[in-house]
Amino acid sequence: MRKWWKRLRFIVHVRRFLPFLFEFFVSHEVPMRKKLFSVGLLLLYIALPLDLIPDWLALFGLIDDLTVFLFILQQVIKMAPVSLKEKYNL
């Protein structure tokens, strides 16, 4: 149950990650290959029209899109330097 609560809090607070993402991409501490990998993950998802759940199923169709977005965001957080994580309490 604790794991689900943590994931729900992550979804609710996703807007607070915008300053973190901006600093991640402009920071000189983050190697260019990590920045390119992050952008590549996002572009790969956008380029592939495959969905686990079709979007025409309304709310259910958006759940897999949200899941992939959160997965990519978690990968970006894992790649961030410790100083950036500490600054944003991640």
* 23-78 confidence digits (pLDDT tens): 999 999 999 999 999 889 888 877 776 666 666 676 776 777 777 778 888 888 89
pLDDT score of 34: 92
90: nearest Cα among 4, 20, 12: 20
**Alpha helix ranges (H) inside 1-90:** 2-12, 17-26, 32-47, 59-79, 82-87
pLDDT score of 64: 75
* 2-28 confidence digits (pLDDT tens): 766 766 676 677 777 888 889 999 999
pLDDT score of 32: 93
Checking if the pLDDT of 84 tops 80, the result is: yes
For the chain, the domains span 4-46+58-88
- Amino acid symbol at 5: W
| Residue with tokens 């590549």, as numbered in its chain | 40
- Please tell me the distance from the alpha carbon of residue 20 to that of residue 88, in angstroms, as a whole number: 7
pTM of the model: 0.70
CA dihedral defined by 21, 26, 30, 32, rounded to 10 degrees?
A: 110
